[in-house]
A and B are shown apart, each in its own frame.
Chain A
């Protein structure tokens, strides 16, 4: 009785099963099919061009790529170049200030937002909005604001403070800090979001336990909550560091590397050498140095991330 029932069921299932086998095949190939264009694009335009740039950095390419190898000559020239060192020093100043200030502001905003305040959602959105702008827009807007003739300086003088000076944008000693200001404005909201997520992950009863143990609010933050945010600090650092090293559009829109080369960054150096000053080999060499810097930051990060994941499971 039960056997004949089973047979019945199979014969009924026969017709749809053929369809489902075709469906299975489709389901098997579909993800691969959908992903393959992306894969090809990534392979060619990222890794392919990295390899090509690496190759060009060992050639005497000038306006157009050439394939005559010249060994390490471009790298030797690069590290004898005064302007490259200016851009490296600028990068160091810019990235240290940018990362430290972003972390400080982001963490403070997150802690303040985490005090169960009203309209938290609205405030969070406001702080996050700068992230929605492209760096070009940020750079242009801040260029107007920092311009002594039309911006903040002019505004404050219009209010009656005739001797007010805020001309960092045109002062070679301070121009790099204007990039820090604009970049911090754009990115600290994002860092805040990261920290806020981290703070929300802290178990409420840990805070209660600390209260009963007698810790003050300040101590609860400094001794317990902030130390437990270490992974968030690390992620935020890595993201900010690679934003800093890649910084190009913001600096180009805001200062264009000027006045002179006073706010030059490696990315601007690379762009100008490769595409406007017919030094493609030198530009490629500087690009490779930047790539290696990013790799030097990312590899330990990825290593630790993957290792902790494995540890958890």
Chain B
């Protein structure tokens, strides 16, 4: 358990710059998730923390000790790999005890440690098996056991659940969360799955093109995205982006929305003061699908909700909700409605838009306004 400070870390391979100045301050016991599309540098950053790649610039500190040039084995970290990376020629017991043997721990201590870890992860009955004889989920547990055995200061998880099937992935996700709550260790976890990021993290770092786009709690990242990329990356189905224009209408700053040949003026949330200066300019309205629903009478009187009539293009039932695809400002918009309220394709239905949580982006730079 330890804090981890990453200051201005850069990494390039030849002329390719992978990391362009990463800054992160991670507190003791925090569960941090690095998330981003493939090629964004998240795995490289992880390898730099582990010491498997040398950084080209910047500093990495664990517990305020500079470990930038220290060998991986002396950093006191443990890593769980996507491919599990179990030693194929050793049985589970050996896999877990290998690092302890290298560190020349007394035999009795090693035995005790293996037993403890095996019990913690419920793999006691597998200790004599070779990795080849284990299922994916069991291998995953062994890989975690190997990491846990050394009581390292920091755990690194490199897409550990990507190779599991969907059901097992959800189970293991919960288990990792439980494990973190029980052990209270500092964890840095790489994934490209934004649901994993939302469910597990204390704080999420959204990365793109070697930069951290936003670093905050899951709810912050979800509700207050720093830019259009973060807004689109987090959340499934993804946020709707509607090209529109800011106008002054009845004393309020509104956006123009054309739905089914009828022009609506929807007032922007009062917190978005900066929008006043942009009246008359084009902006991108960001609104999540769950903020466009069927008409719920209880909410309909709320000042921030507006009702529009739209023609349904496509419906996609997901079980708990049905996604309804309609056109606003000639652009496709996803709405999330109760299954029994959803109409059929071609029909017209009333939709309730909640403007209170909408966000606005610059149409060119994609930055939040």
Contacts and interface: CB of A to CB of B under 8 A. Distances in A.
B73 interface: yes
B52 A211 contact: yes
B73 A205 contact: no
Interface residues of B, number: 23
A228 interface: yes
Contacts, number: 58
Contacts of B73: 211-215
Given A215-B102, A219-B102, A210 B83 contact: no
Interface in A217-236: 219, 223-224, 227-228, 230
Contacts of B9: none
B265 interface: no
Given A203-B83, A208-B81, A212-B73, A230 B98 contact: no
Interface string B74-111: 00011101110111111000000011001100000000
B297 to A, nearest CB: 48
Contact of B87 (A208, A210, A214): A210
Contacts of A224: 87, 89-90
A137 interface: no
Interface residues of A, number: 17
A218 to B, nearest CB: 12
A228 to B, nearest CB: 5
A209 B79 contact: yes
B103 to A, nearest CB: 6
Interface in A41-74: none
Nearest to A208: B52
A206 interface: yes
A212 B78 contact: yes
Contact of B85 (A205, A214, A228): A205
Nearest to B103: A214
B235 interface: no
Contacts of B339: none
B120 to A, nearest CB: 19
Contact of A227 (B52, B89, B103): B89
Contacts of A211: 52, 72-73
A230 B89 CA distance: 9
B71 to A, nearest CB: 8
Contacts of A209: 79, 81, 85, 87, 146
Contact of B88 (A212, A213, A219, A228): A228
B50 interface: yes
Contacts of A208: 47, 50, 52, 72, 79, 81, 85
11 contacts: A206-B86, A208-B47, A208-B52, A209-B79, A209-B81, A209-B85, A209-B87, A212-B51, A214-B99, A224-B87, A224-B89
Interface of B: 47, 50-52, 72-73, 77-79, 81-83, 85-90, 98-99, 102-103, 146
Given A209-B85, A212-B51, A224-B87, 12 more contacts: A208-B50, A208-B79, A208-B85, A210-B98, A211-B52, A211-B72, A212-B52, A212-B72, A214-B73, A215-B102, A219-B102, A223-B98
The 8 closest A-B pairs by CB, nearest first: A214-B73, A213-B99, A227-B89, A205-B85, A209-B85, A205-B81, A214-B102, A206-B85
